[in-house]
Chain A
Amino acid sequence: DSGVTQTPKHLITATGQRVTLRCSPRSGDLSVYWYQQSLDQGLQFLIQYYNGEERAKGNILERFSAQQFPDLHSELNLSSLELGDSALYFCASSAGGGNTGELFFGEGSRLTVL
């Protein structure tokens, strides 16, 4: 158990819809990262938040947005969903804002867009 909690574990929805994925980081961790893993792909970095502020941005689509709340949990919002958005979405956390240490990953949220 990494200490990172992601909900929901599985989600099935239709094209054009909007979903929200939730992540609770390990106790005390200030950084939250979101990664996307599509079929046969590596983990693609989407975005990082540190203590409520956006710290780094990766290949995140404009239809996607995220935020980190004062209690440090984070939400990833995916809108106008397309078939290609079907993927595993991982949240990870770390203690600091830099990324020279290990990340602790949740079990992922599997999104299926039909």
Chain B
Amino acid sequence: DQQVKQNSPSLSVQEGRISILNCDYTNSMFDYFLWYKKYPAEGPTFLISISSIKDKNEDGRFTVFLNKSAKHLSLHIVPSQPGDSAVYFCAASPGAQKLVFGQGTRLTINP
């Protein structure tokens, strides 16, 4: 049972444009959501998070949007830079203990 789904395995965006990565979840008990970024041969690193009491959280070029009614969140990167090329994992937590991760989306920023 895949509780957190990232339906796009890959995404290619031109440098300077907006990258939008999507994530859907099924468990209504999830109340905390995070995005992690992973480069090859490295562990995932935390990027940005959002609590279910908010619908938007912004950190520099990165913004996460949460639509609770649709059980959907998205990560916007504006403007996209070559260094943003990585695998992005969406994760969700029911407030305690384990994070549940999606399968990841490989983002490629083209010059």
Give me the interface of A with B, judged by CB distance under 8 Å: 2, 4, 33, 35, 40-45, 48, 55-56, 58, 90, 92, 97-100, 102-108
**Residues of chain B within 8 A of A58, CB atoms compared:** 98
A90 to B41: give the CA distance in the assembly, Å: 11
Nearest-CB distance from A19 to chain B (Å)? Answer: 19
A45 x B43 contact (CB < 8 A): no
Known: A40-B103, A98-B97. A92 touches B43 (CB 8 A): yes
Q: Number of B residues contacting the other chain (C-beta, 8 Å)?
A: 26
**Residues of chain A within 8 A of B103, CB atoms compared:** 40-42
Cross-chain contact of B41 among A35, A45, A105, A107 (Cβ < 8 A): A107
Report which residue of B89, B95, B97 has the largest number of chain A beta carbons within 10 angstroms of its beta carbon.
B97
A48 to B97: give the CA distance in the assembly, Å: 8
Cross-chain contact of B42 among A56, A102, A107 (Cβ < 8 A): A107
Nearest-CB distance from B14 to chain A (Å)? Answer: 26
**Residues of chain A within 8 A of B67, CB atoms compared:** none
A42 x B102 contact (CB < 8 A): yes
**Residues of chain B within 8 A of A104, CB atoms compared:** 46
Nearest-CB distance from B36 to chain A (Å)? Answer: 8
B46 x A103 contact (CB < 8 A): yes
A33 to B98: give the CA distance in the assembly, Å: 8
Known: A56-B98, A98-B95, A102-B34. A42 touches B44 (CB 8 A): no
B97 x A99 contact (CB < 8 A): yes
Question: Considering the complex of A and B, which 4 residue pairs feature the smallest CB-CB distances, nearest first?
Answer: A105-B43, A102-B46, A56-B97, A42-B103
Q: Is B25 part of the binding interface, using a Cβ–Cβ cutoff of 8 Å?
A: no
Q: Can you list 6 pairs linking A and B with CB atoms under 8 Å apart?
A: A42-B6, A45-B98, A56-B97, A90-B44, A97-B96, A100-B51
A-B contacts besides A98-B97, A103-B99, A105-B36, 14 pairs, CB < 8 Å: A2-B43, A35-B101, A41-B103, A42-B101, A43-B101, A45-B99, A48-B97, A48-B98, A99-B95, A100-B32, A100-B51, A100-B93, A102-B46, A105-B44
Nearest-CB distance from A80 to chain B (Å)? Answer: 25
